[in-house]
């Protein structure tokens, strides 16, 4: 029993330390970059734009079909309950508040979080970070900060795209391919959507973006010597990102809706 409690205690301390390190990394990135120094601005802006392109624009062909499938699936199922429940309200509740942000986060983790971890790990192991340092450039400035801003912006944008595609696209798909009763769907949505629903979706996006980026950067920057550490770091980063996003999702939902 004593051994079990000891192991549990050590695991808890390790997890606590790990969380503190993630918070410290977040603080360090934001502290050196805010307010954004004049030096290097053009380069940082370019890296941010590139990151938004890789994470958001290139993800559109993936996220749009998924949003359409999930949106039409939900509308088809809920339209079976037509007359018994408020279809628009239900769709808003599920897509805007929960499914939209979460599925978007999962897609970003699968596509970009793994890519960022691998990229940073390689840069570290192959001494590219040293090359930046030898140029007198702080890697936190030109690598970490632009990724934080780029990925966070991308996640928020993708959540908006997902929600719109799931609701409007889903409705269009159901309307054009079935004879299910979905009249008055948009009126119900307009009545059902509240400002808080949109704000919470965006807030979740911001937290997901920060969490995903910082977790990936942390694992990437910790790979220092061996290339064989990279797959392990990538896998850990992806699993951790998913777990943290789920925790953040439930946490924000509790604060706003319970």
Partner 1 sequence: MEPMPPPIIEITGLALIPPGSTSRYGTNRLTVDTGDVIAIAADTPADSRHLLRVLATLEQPEKGNYRFNGTTVNLKRYRQCLAVKRRIGYVAADSTMISNRTLLENLLFTRFYYENDLTIDIDRTMAALCRDAGLFQNLNLRPSALSDRELLKAVTIREMGKAPEVMLIDRPENFMAPTTNNALFSHLQHMVRSGTAVVFISHNSEMSGLANRRLTLADGRISAGSVSRFGSSKQVMI
Binding residue (CB under 8 A) for partner 1 from 14, 17, 19, 130: 130
CB of 27 to partner 1, least distance (A): 15
CB nearer to partner 1: give 98 or 119: 119
The whole-angstrom separation of Cα 7 and Cα 155 is 37
Q: Considering the rule CB under 8 A, would residue 137 count as an interface residue with partner 1?
A: yes
Q: Considering the rule CB under 8 A, would residue 38 count as an interface residue with partner 1?
A: yes
CB 216 within 8 Å of CB 238: no
Q: Considering the rule CB under 8 A, would residue 84 count as an interface residue with partner 1?
A: no
Binding residue (CB under 8 A) for partner 1 from 142, 159, 165, 212: 142
Q: Binding string to partner 1 for residues 102 to 121, with x set by CB under 8 A, is what?
A: -----------------x--
The residue range among 59-67, 75-83, 110-118, 122-130 that interacts with partner 1, by the rule CB under 8 A, is 122-130
In the block, residue with structure tokens 């960022």: 116
Residue from 52, 185, 163, 170 nearest 101 by CA: 163
Q: Considering the rule CB under 8 A, would residue 18 count as an interface residue with partner 1?
A: no
The whole-angstrom separation of Cα 168 and Cα 156 is 18
The whole-angstrom separation of Cα 127 and Cα 129 is 5
CB 141 within 8 Å of CB 242: no
> Per the structure block, which two tokens stand in for 117?
């971890």
Q: Considering the rule CB under 8 A, would residue 34 count as an interface residue with partner 1?
A: no
CA-based R_g, the chain, Å: 21
Binding site for partner 1 (CB under 8 A): 38-43, 46, 119, 122-123, 126-128, 130-138, 142
């Amino acid at each position: 029993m004593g051994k079990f409690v000891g192991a549990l205690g050590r695991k808890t301390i390790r997890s606590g330390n790990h969380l503190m390190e993630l918070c410290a990394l977040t603080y360090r990135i934001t502290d050196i970059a805010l307010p954004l120094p004049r030096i290097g601005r053009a380069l940082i802006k370019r890296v941010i734009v590139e990151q938004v392109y890789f994470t958001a624009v290139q993800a559109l062909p993936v996220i749009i079909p998924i949003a359409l499938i999930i949106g039409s699936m939900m509308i088809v199922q809920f339209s079976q309950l037509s007359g018994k429940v408020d279809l628009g309200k239900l769709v808003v509740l599920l897509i805007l508040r929960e499914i939209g942000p979460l599925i978007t986060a999962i897609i970003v983790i699968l596509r970009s979080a793994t890519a960022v971890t691998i990229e940073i790990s390689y840069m570290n192991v192959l001494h590219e970070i040293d090359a930046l340092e030898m140029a007198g450039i702080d890697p936190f400035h030109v690598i970490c900060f632009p990724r934080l801003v780029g990925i966070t912006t991308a996640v928020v944008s993708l959540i908006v795209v997902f929600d719109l595609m799931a609701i409007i696209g889903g409705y269009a798909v159901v309307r054009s391919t079935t004879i299910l009763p979905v009249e008055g769907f948009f009126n119900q949505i307009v009545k059902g959507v509240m400002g808080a629903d949109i704000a919470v979706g965006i807030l979740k996006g911001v937290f997901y973006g920060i969490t995903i980026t910082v977790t990936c950067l942390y694992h990437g920057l910790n790979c220092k010597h061996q290339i064989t550490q990279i797959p392990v770091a990538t896998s850990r980063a992806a699993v951790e990102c998913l777990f943290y996003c789920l925790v953040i999702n439930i946490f924000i939902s509790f604060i706003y809706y319970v």
